[in-house]
Amino acid sequence: MNIDFTGEELAFRDEVRNFIKQKFPADIREKIQNSIQLEKDDLVRWQKILYEKGWAAANWPVEYGGTGWTSVQKHIFANEAGQAGCPEVVAFGMKMVAPVIYNFGNEEQKQRFLPDILASNVWWCQGYSEPNAGSDLASLKTTAVRDGDEYIVNGTKTWTTLAQYADWIFCLVRTGPPEQKNQIAISFLLIDMKESSITVSPIYTLDGHPEVNEVRFHNVRVPVANRIGEEGQGWTYAKLLLTHERTNIARVAASKQKMEKVKKQAAQTSDSSEALSENNAFAMKMAEVEIELLALEYTELRTLSAISTGQAPGPESSILKIKGTEVGQAIDELLVEIAGYYSLPFVKDQFMSGFDGLPIGPGAAANSAPRYFNNRKTSIFGGSNEIQKNIICKAVLGL
């Protein structure tokens, strides 16, 4: 693949750089540089800035508000935004449920939901996993029983990321008879989180943040008009959504930014020791991870090329998911090794807005361990890496 940019592409890169320099809020930039936890308002504010520029939905079709960018332009934007430390667009609305709506929804649903998703006026969360249905998602038990023009939904979803902020949730539910336990009985519903019969309970991660939640539905009435596509075809729609999710999980730009941090911190010296980058064993580890990251970047470019022709990401998105999470976790391991004993203490308040005490260790060293432990989950969510290998064997290699 030719990675030399054309004059037009270089001009686009300069436009992106200038835009970020002028429009990326300084307070959000400072939070990210100091590893301060971003709030919902921070994320929405940046997404609305992108929306005003017309850059909020890089992969959407132009007729629904997409950018019309080529695969190279998408790559350039992601790379420049990642290097500048910009937060990624929250995936649940823009990158996950929106493709399902504009591919399978009716015109009324497109007009009702897509404009607010594009403008970041609503926050979405994902209702897939359940207490006993994770990697084996087809075994989900949340039911939606038809009652006239409504469904009555009962069940529990878990590991629901940022559900505490959500206005809406997209859910896989079982609409077939109880004895029908396969994918044919599953439908795709959009549910208003303001319903009083929905309970959200936080699940606290190691960093003390309620990033994930358990969501319970007790006789929640959902209009049939909120079902995407046909009843019993939700698994088909979910598979398209998961290919987009797995592509996003690759997070090449974010990993490139973290890798730059690794090299910068590894080059630092102290009075008592040489720079880690001068240690042959550690330098070899860095080189191996950087080579894997470069290979991942080329794979992502090939996938973006397919999307730019109007196709959905294919089963090769599973490759991105596997390698993307493995590379990201390897970089986290390097950061912990650099931090050394500074990675052991953890003061939650150090990473919250308003903290005025002294940081522990150089840079964000004290956050290296919580980040490492939190990101262990990436090889599980979006479909565990073991399941992705099965998909590659069947759908890509034909084994």
In this structure, is residue 243 part of a structural domain?
A: no
- pLDDT of residue 250 exceeding 80, the answer is no
Asked if 229 and 340 sit in the same domain, the reply is no
pLDDT over threshold 80, residue 282: yes
- Checking if the pLDDT of 241 tops 90, the result is no
Does 306 share its domain with 196? no
Q: Measure Cα distances from 229 to 100, 238, 346, 378 in Å.
A: 9, 11, 47, 30
- 226 and 313 housed in the same domain: no
Q: Do the Cβ atoms of 323 and 299 come closer than 8 Å?
A: yes
**112 occurs within a structural domain:** no
Which neighbouring-strand residues pair with 201? Answer: 214
Reported in sequence order, the residue ranges of the chain that DSSP labels E, i.e. its strands, are: 124-127, 143-147, 150-157, 168-174, 186-192, 198-203, 212-223, 227-228
- Please compute the mean of the pLDDT values over residues 66-77 and round it to a whole number: 88
CA angle centred on 352, ends 216 and 268, rounded to 5°? 125
In whole angstroms, how large is the CA radius of gyration of the chain?
A: 22
Whether residue 254 is found in the same domain as residue 330: yes
255 and 342 co-located in one domain? yes
3 vs 126, which has greater pLDDT?
A: 126
Q: Is residue 144 located within the same domain as residue 257?
A: no
89, 105, 138 — which closes off a domain?
Answer: 89
Q: Tell me how many domains the chain contains.
A: 3
Residue 200 CA to residue 134 CA, distance in Å, equals 19
Helix 280-308 vs helix 317-339: crossing angle, to nearest 10? 150
Q: Give domain status of residue 113, yes or no.
A: no
What is the span of the domain harbouring residue 178?
A: 123-233
In a domain, 377, yes or no: yes
Cβ 298 vs Cβ 1: under 8 Å: yes
Q: Is 116 part of a structural domain of the chain?
A: no
- Give the Cα separation of 135 and 139 in Å (integer): 9
Residue with the two structure tokens 């005490």: 357
**The pLDDT of residue 1 is above 70:** no
What is the pLDDT, as a whole number, of residue 247?
Answer: 63
Instruction: Indicate the pTM of the whole model.
Output: 0.85
Rounded to whole angstroms, the Cα distance separating 350 from 66 reads 38
Handedness of CA 250, 251, 252, 255 (dihedral sign): negative
- Over pLDDT 90: what percentage of the chain? 52
Contact present, 94 and 170 (Cβ < 8 Å): no
Task: Please report whether residue 101 resides in a domain.
Answer: no
Same domain membership, residue 283 and residue 392: yes
Is residue 98 in some structural domain? no
Residue 228: strand pairing partners? 188
Segment 313-337, tens digit of pLDDT: 666 678 888 888 999 999 999 999 9
pLDDT tens string 297-312: 888 777 766 655 555 5
Using the Cα atoms of residue 310, residue 253, residue 37 and residue 338 in order, give the sign of their dihedral: positive
pLDDT at position 321 is 84
Of the residues 176, 198, 233, the one at which a domain ends: 233
Residues 255 and 381 reside in one and the same domain: yes
Q: Are residues 145 and 226 in the same domain?
A: yes
**For residue 356, is it within any domain?**
yes
How large is the angle between the packed helices 40-53 and 26-33, nearest 10 degrees? 130
Whether residue 29 is found in the same domain as residue 81: yes
pLDDT value of position 313:
60
Give 211's Cβ-side CA count (13 Å radius): 12
Given a cut of 60, is residue 271 above it in pLDDT? no
Q: What is the pLDDT of residues 104-147, one digit of tens each?
A: 999 999 999 999 999 999 999 999 999 988 777 888 999 999 99
